[in-house]
Each structure stands twice: as structure tokens, then as C-alpha cells.
């Protein structure tokens, strides 16, 4: 068989040669560093055989695919340690996740933090023993019999759900055998540093009607130094937790009376309105119009759009006048109804319609997390109806707009392209045209991207923007989806230059993703220290004593008249206390006013980082503040 390497060189091997053998043949040093390979777009472990002509790219721990292999193997390592320490445990599932791994267990024993230390020690013992991971296959009946004898009810349940005829594979690590597709490391010797992070509850299959299992989260690395850096980032992330800062800064709250439905406070509404006004200004400049569509629409619409078949488990329903309605989980069908109100000419296209649309999605209570995972949120949606000949230019325009917006907030980002999923609508030809359209737009801008095979929306491929925050975490925010399916389902038309009725192409896109989640990301990215242009309160005026309050109010009035957001601390407290409390509120500037300032009509300026900027005329300070707002300066 022929193996094509990233440099397009081709090597030949016997069919059945393993990933490890091929990697060793390329370079012994590479084999020592490798954790697996991407073969024909699929991630494979070191012990897996290759049986056909393939493209072949070696991956290391630092690669996304490498981390997935490493952490998946670590989940098996943890499960093996638990099997040795707690023989009565029943095993459920143990996947790799974005920042480590977890495994779900069923046991009468309640795991404690002290248990985590014991499990870590046992994992280290196993690493010293260095058992290899052995992959093998069983047929369905044999596999069910094997796990039934062990009373591993969750493994039997999983096997029974595997479609008939599909290969059922297993991995053995020492005495631990797990139903698993892989991929895995060749052995566990690379797992040098480990930390079990937490214990949580999780329903089997995520179903509240099923049994509650115990979930243990962990993370591992090749080097202790990397683990230490990771744990430092975790501690920093705790300090930046948007739920904690949101409460301290008076931005938002969550309540048991409305789980998953955020309550925005006055400061939070100031921030939200700044973002919405900014969004409107940028979209107006980019040639968008704004629409608004209802949040409740007839159920038949959701059947027609395809959301019913693909999304109904996440939707809320109601009845009006003995007819069934749904609360919208997405804005696109409403935008389509607006389009259908008129018959457009090709001269009218492209139509670019933005909508700050409130949507509702039913999330399991255990998945709710501050503003990051809610049940009601406002998408900064836009739907573009375009000619086929306009697709590339419009995609380029959306990418440029997203780039401009993310830079205004100081974010770096990377792009991922997701292709056709298994449960998609439409023909292979339509998907190929749509996918190539996205690729062409990225090529036009010379933008690199990561390919995610099979991860597109059910109606079209997509580009996702992943933002990197101040401590190196990434957040998926914006998305662009190219859609031939909705125009077909809703029979959308325009009159072309030849007088014929034709289908427009539809682009779906967001840039913030959702207002709520983006606000949460901003809180954590800036650690609550918002740039001047975003800060709900930009300046606090701090008179040294009551006799300077009148001058303080003059200063406030002047600043407010120029559009700056100002408050004052007029309490009869010492100035040191006022300054400390203003710093805790993370306000960009404090203006201290005493006898000297009142007589000279100046202000004494302090920045929130503690820097004393000294006295300034009110005009000079105001010019400085307004320039920071206008230029959207990102500062500490």
C-alpha cells in the first residue's frame, strides 16, 4: 500500500503495517515523540494497522489530535487504577474532552478528595509497570457474553446500541479491558504528570430518568512543568470566573425561579447596550439592515425547516387556540418568512439582514453554567440571501467584518472548517458546492484553517471562529454557514436576469455567537477590568471631604455632558478607603478632588492599576478619556 506523507512524498508498506511501524521507519526520533497519526483524516493510535492507501500525518502531544489520544489513554489508566483499588465498581464511559478526560462510574462507594490522591498514586504505579495497550475485536454475541459475566451492565448497554455489522473493538491495559474504538498510546510510559481535578454527578446517557453515576475529571501531561503551568492557569481562571465577577460588579445574576435564564442588572445592561449599539453601528457600515421576528411560531414551520427532525428534543412548545406552537431555538425560519413577503429581482440581491434574536433551547440542568450555557439567549444573527455568483464575495465580507470586530476587542483567533455530518439534509453535490465556497473564500483571504470532518450543521458546512483569551483559552464564537437546503424547503425565489425564477443561496452567520455568552467571555478575558469604551462605569469622582462635593458634582456634570459614564463617592469616608473600593470595582479611572484641585480647577488622576497619573486639567483628562473610548484602547 502507498502512504503519502505531508511533504507529498510516498512510501510503500505491506498492508496491515501499524502506525508505530510506519512512524519508526520515517524516523526513530519521531516515533519516540509521536502519540499517533492522522490517517486519511482519521486519528489512529500507534498500535493500529493501516490496510489501504492513505495520507499520513504524525501527531505529538501538542497537536489537538495528540492531546485527544493522550487523554483518552489517561482515562483508561485512571479506570484501571480504580479497578485495582475498588473492585466492585462498574464502568460506564471515559472519553477525552477539551481540557483532559473523565470517566463515569457506578459504585456504592462515594468518592472523596482523599480517594483522588490514592487513585493518582495507583496510576503512577501502573505507569512504572508500563503495560502496553492491546487492541482486539470480538463479535457482538461474544462481547455481550463477556461483559454480562462481569456484570458490566453499562458496557452491555453500549454494545447493544452498536449497529449490526459494525466492528466492535476493545483495548486491554494490564487486567483492565474496555469497550473502545480508540485511538490510544502504544503504552502509558509517556504519562509522566497527572492530576485528578474533581468529582461530579452525571446521568447515564445524560438522561435524568437514568441512574446518577459518579464522574471523575482529570488531566495529564508528558512533563510536570506543563501540568504546573496548567494548574496555574486553572487558578487564574477561578479568579476570572464570570459568575463570581458578574455578581461582584453588579452585572447579572441567576435565580432558582428561572434556572438557565439570566437576570441583567443596571451595570450589565449598560455593557449589553454598548455591545448592541456597537454591533448595530458596524453592521450598518457593512451594508446590513436589521429585522425582528417573533419568538413563538407555529409548529408546522419547524417541520418544514427541518428543525423538528434534528432539534425537537432541545425545543420548548406551547398551545395557542388549540394549535401547536414552538418557541424558536433559531432565528432563520423567521428571516425566511420576511424574505417570502416579496418577490425579489437579481438586482435586489444580496439582501443582508441582521437580527438580535432571542432564542430558547432546553439544556439539561446539570449542563447550565452561568452565561456560558443558558436556556434563553440573544443570537447576533444575520441571514444573507445571495446569488450563486455572489457567494464568495459575501463570505469574504463576513470574514472581514468578523476580523474587524474581534480585533476591536483585542482577540486573536483561529478558524475551523466543518464538513457534512451524518444526519444532513441535501445532496452530495450541494454539499460539495457549499464546502468549496467556504474554502474559496478562505483562500481569497489567505487564511489558514483547521478541518473538522463531519462536524457541519445539518443543513450546510460552516466556518467557526475560535477566540483566544488573555490566559490562552479558546472560545468558539462566530460561525458562518452556507445553506442550499432552507431555500429549497421554503421554495425561496428571485427573478433572474433571464426572467426565470431561481433559488437564492442563504448564508447564516453570527459573530458574537450570543450576547450572553460573549459577555461572559469578555468578563473572564478582561478579569472584569473592561477597557474604557466597555466599562459600565468609566470614572469615579472621589472628594477628600464633604466640602469638595459641589466641585465634584461640577466635574461629574461636565464629564457626563460629553458622554462619559461617571459616578461619585460622596460618603464621609477616608480617601484611602474610597480609592481601595473603587479599585475593587475595577473602574478605569478615579479622580481625587481636594483643596488644591478645587482651587486650580484640576483633578488628580489615578488608574485602576494603582498608577498615580498626577494632576490634570479637566479638559486634558477628558480629552484623554474620550480618545481611549474612540480608539477602543485595550489597557489594564
Give the tens place of pLDDT for each residue, 470-517. 888 899 999 998 888 889 999 999 999 999 999 999 999 999 999 999
- 625: nearest Cα among 586, 590, 585: 590
Q: Is there a contact between 525 and 570 (Cβ–Cβ < 8 Å)?
A: no
What is the reported pLDDT for 480? Answer: 92
pLDDT number for residue 545: 93
* Inter-residue contact 45 to 182 (CB < 8 Å): yes
Predicted local confidence at residue 366, as pLDDT: 78
With a cut of 90, say whether residue 437 has pLDDT above it. no
pLDDT tier, 312 (very low <50, low <70, confident <90, very high otherwise): confident
Q: Cα separation of 27 and 496, whole Å?
A: 59
At residue 244 the predicted structure's pLDDT band, cuts being 50, 70 and 90, is very high
Give per-residue pLDDT as tens, 130-182: 999 998 888 888 888 888 988 899 999 999 888 877 778 899 999 999 999 88
The confidence score (pLDDT) of residue 150 equals: 87
* Cβ-based neighbours of 590, under 8 Å, separated by 6 or more: 539, 540, 541, 542, 578, 579, 582, 583, 605, 606, 608
- Pull the grid cell for residue 295: 419568538
pLDDT higher than threshold 90 for residue 198? yes
Please compute Rg for the chain using Cα positions.
Answer: 29
pLDDT at 120 over 90: yes
Measure Cα distances from 43 to 178, 415, 431, 609 in Å: 19, 20, 23, 47
Cα–Cα distance for residue pair 487/504, rounded to 1 Å: 7
| CA atoms in the 13 A half-sphere facing the CB of 138 | 17
Q: What percent of the chain has pLDDT over 90?
A: 80
Look over the chain and give the mean of its residue pLDDT values, rounded to a whole number: 93
Q: What is the pLDDT of residue 165?
A: 75
By DSSP bridging, strand 505-510 and strand 474-483 are: antiparallel
What is the mean predicted confidence (pLDDT) over 219-245? 94
Interval 234-261 mean pLDDT: 95
- The DSSP letter of residue 207 is -
- Using DSSP bridges, classify how beta strands 323-327 and 344-345 pair: parallel, antiparallel or unpaired: unpaired
Residues of the chain with pLDDT > 70, as a percent, come to: 100
Element at 274 (helix H, strand E): helix 266-285
Separation CA 265–CA 263 (nearest Å): 7
Residue 251 confidence (pLDDT): 97
Q: Residue 504's closest CA among 493, 514, 515?
A: 493
Show the cell assigned to 125: 504505579
Query: What is the model's pLDDT at position 137?
Result: 87
Which residues are marked as active site? 332, 361, 379, 381, 383, 462, 508
Helix (H, G, I), strand (E, B) or coil at 276: helix
The span from the CA of 524 to the CA of 242, in Å, is 6
Q: Which of 486, 476, 335 is nearest to 424 (CA)?
A: 486
pLDDT of residue 187 exceeding 80:
yes
Per-residue buried b or exposed e for 404-423, using 16+ beta carbons within 10 Å of the residue's own CB: ebbebbbbebebbbbbbbee
Please state whether beta strands 566-568 and 450-452 pair in parallel, antiparallel, or not at all (unpaired).
unpaired
Q: Of all helices (H) and strands (E), which one includes residue 214?
A: strand 212-221
H or E element in which residue 268 lies: helix 266-285
Alpha helix (H) residue ranges in 137-265:
140-149, 153-161, 224-239, 242-248
Q: Assign residue 46 a region: left if phi > 0, alpha if psi is -120 to 50, beta otherwise?
A: alpha
Q: How many residues does the chain have?
A: 636
- Other Cβ atoms less than 10 A from the Cβ of 40: the count is 13
pLDDT (tens digit, 9 = 90+) per residue, 339-395?
999 999 999 999 999 999 999 999 988 788 999 999 999 999 999 999 989 999 999
Please list, in sequence order, all residues whose beta carbon lies within 8 angstroms of the beta carbon of residue 191, skipping any fewer than 6 positions away.
70, 73, 74, 77, 123, 127, 185, 220, 222
**What's residue 365's pLDDT?**
83
Q: Which three cell numbers stand for residue 308?
A: 423538528
Answer yes or no: is pLDDT of 607 > 80.
yes
158 conformational bin, left if phi > 0, alpha if psi -120 to 50, beta if neither: alpha
Write 430-439 long-range contacts (CB < 8 A, 24+): 430/484, 430/485, 431/460, 431/461, 433/484, 434/460, 434/461, 434/482, 434/483, 434/484, 435/461, 435/482, 437/391, 437/392, 437/395, 437/482, 438/395, 438/462, 438/463, 438/480, 438/482
> How far is residue 543's CA from residue 605's CA, in Å, rounded to a whole number?
12
CB atoms inside a 10 Å sphere around CB 271: 21
Task: Extract the C-alpha cell encoding 509.
Answer: 452567520
Mean pLDDT of the region 568-582: 93
The pLDDT value given to residue 459: 75
Domains of the chain: residue spans and CATH: 2-60 (3.10.20.30), 67-238 (3.30.980.10), 259-294+345-526 (3.30.930.10), 539-631 (3.40.50.800)
Q: Mean pLDDT throughout 36-51?
A: 91
Retrieve residue 51's grid coordinates.
Answer: 490496510
Amino acid at each position: 500500500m502507498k502512504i503519502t506523507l505531508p511533504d507529498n512524498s510516498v512510501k510503500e508498506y505491506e498492508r496491515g503495517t501499524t502506525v508505530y511501524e510506519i512512524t519508526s521507519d520515517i524516523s526513530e526520533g519521531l516515533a519516540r515523540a509521536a502519540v499517533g497519526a492522522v490517517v486519511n483524516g482519521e486519528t489512529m493510535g500507534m498500535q493500529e494497522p493501516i490496510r489501504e492507501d492513505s495520507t499520513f500525518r504524525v501527531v505529538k502531544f501538542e497537536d489537538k489530535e495528540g492531546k485527544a489520544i493522550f487523554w483518552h489513554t489517561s482515562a483508561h489508566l485512571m479506570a484501571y487504577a480504580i479497578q485495582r483499588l475498588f473492585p466492585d465498581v462498574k464502568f460506564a464511559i471515559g472519553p477525552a474532552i477539551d481540557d483532559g478526560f473523565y470517566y463515569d462510574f457506578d459504585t456504592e462507594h462515594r468518592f472523596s478528595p482523599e480517594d483522588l490522591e490514592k487513585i493518582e498514586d495507583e496510576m503512577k504505579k501502573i505507569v512504572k509497570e508500563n503495560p502496553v495497550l492491546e487492541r482486539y475485536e470480538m463479535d457482538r454475541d461474544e462481547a455481550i457474553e463477556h461483559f454480562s459475566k462481569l456484570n458490566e451492565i453499562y458496557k452491555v448497554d453500549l454494545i447493544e446500541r452498536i449497529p449490526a455489522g459494525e466492528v466492535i473493538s476493545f483495548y486491554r491495559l494490564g487486567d483492565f479491558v474496555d469497550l473502545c474504538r480508540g485511538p490510544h498510546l502504544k503504552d502509558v510510559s509517556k504519562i509522566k504528570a497527572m492530576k485528578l481535578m474533581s468529582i461530579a454527578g452525571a446521568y447515564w446517557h445524560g438522561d435524568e430518568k437514568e441512574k446518577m453515576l459518579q464522574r471523575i475529571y482529570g488531566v495529564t501531561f508528558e512533563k510536570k512543568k506543563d501540568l504546573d503551568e496548567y494548574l496555574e492557569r486553572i487558578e487564574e481562571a477561578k479568579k476570572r470566573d464570570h459568575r463570581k465577577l458578574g455578581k461582584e460588579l453588579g452585572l447579572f445574576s441567576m435565580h432558582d425561579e428561572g434556572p438557565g435564564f439570566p437576570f441583567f442588572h443596571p451595570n450589565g445592561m449598560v455593557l449589553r447596550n454598548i455591545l448592541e449599539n456597537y454591533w448595530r453601528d458596524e453592521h450598518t457600515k457593512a451594508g446590513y439592515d436589521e429585522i425582528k421576528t417573533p419568538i413563538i411560531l407555529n409548529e408546522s414551520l419547524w417541520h418544514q425547516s427541518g428543525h423538528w427532525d434534528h432539534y425537537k428534543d432541545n425545543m420548548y412548545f406551547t398551545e395557542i387556540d388549540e394549535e401547536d406552537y414552538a418557541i424558536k431555538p433559531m432565528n432563520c425560519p423567521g428571516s425566511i418568512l420576511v424574505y417570502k413577503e416579496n418577490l425579489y429581482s437579481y438586482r435586489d440581491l444580496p439582501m443582508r439582514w441582521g437580527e438580535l434574536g432571542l432564542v430558547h433551547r432546553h439544556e439539561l440542568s446539570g449542563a447550565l453554567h452561568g452565561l456560558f450555557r443558558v436556556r434563553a439567549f440573544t443570537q447576533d444573527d444575520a441571514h444573507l440571501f445571495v446569488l450563486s455568483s455572489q457567494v464568495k464575495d459575501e463570505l469574504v465580507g463576513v470574514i472581514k467584518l468578523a476580523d474587524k470586530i474581534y480585533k476591536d476587542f483585542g482577540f486573536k483567533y483561529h478558524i475551523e472548517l466543518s464538513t457534512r455530518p451524518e444526519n444532513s439534509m441535501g445532496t452530495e453535490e450541494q454539499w460539495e458546492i457549499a464546502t468549496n465556497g467556504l474554502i474559496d473564500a478562505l483562500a481569497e483571504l489567505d487564511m489558514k484553517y483547521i478541518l473538522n470532518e463531519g462536524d457541519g450543521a445539518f443543513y450546510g458546512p460552516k466556518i467557526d471562529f475560535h477566540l483566544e483569551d488573555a490566559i490562552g483559552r479558546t472560545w468558539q464564537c462566530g460561525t458562518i454557514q452556507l445553506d442550499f437546503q432552507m431555500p429549497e424547503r421554503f421554495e425561496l425565489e428571485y427573478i433572474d436576469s433571464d426572467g426565470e425564477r431561481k433559488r437564492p443561496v442563504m448564508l447564516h452567520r453570527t459573530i458574537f455567537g450570543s450576547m450572553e455568552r460573549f459577555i461572559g467571555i469578555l468578563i473572564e478575558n478582561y478579569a472584569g477590568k473592561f477597557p474604557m469604551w466597555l466599562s459600565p462605569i468609566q470614572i469615579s469622582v472621589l472628594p477628600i471631604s464633604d466640602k469638595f462635593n459641589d466641585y465634584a458634582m461640577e466635574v461629574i456634570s461636565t464629564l457626563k455632558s460629553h458622554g462619559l459614564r461617571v459616578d461619585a463617592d460622596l460618603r464621609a469616608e477616608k480617601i484611602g478607603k474610597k480609592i481601595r473600593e473603587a479599585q475593587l470595582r475595577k473602574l478605569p479611572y478615579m479622580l481625587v478632588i481636594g483643596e488644591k484641585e478645587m482651587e486650580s480647577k484640576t483633578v488628580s488622576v489615578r488608574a485602576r492599576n494603582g498608577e498615580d497619573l498626577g494632576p490634570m486639567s479637566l479638559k486634558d483628562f477628558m480629552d484623554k478619556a474620550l480618545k481611549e473610548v474612540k480608539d477602543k484602547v485595550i489597557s489594564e
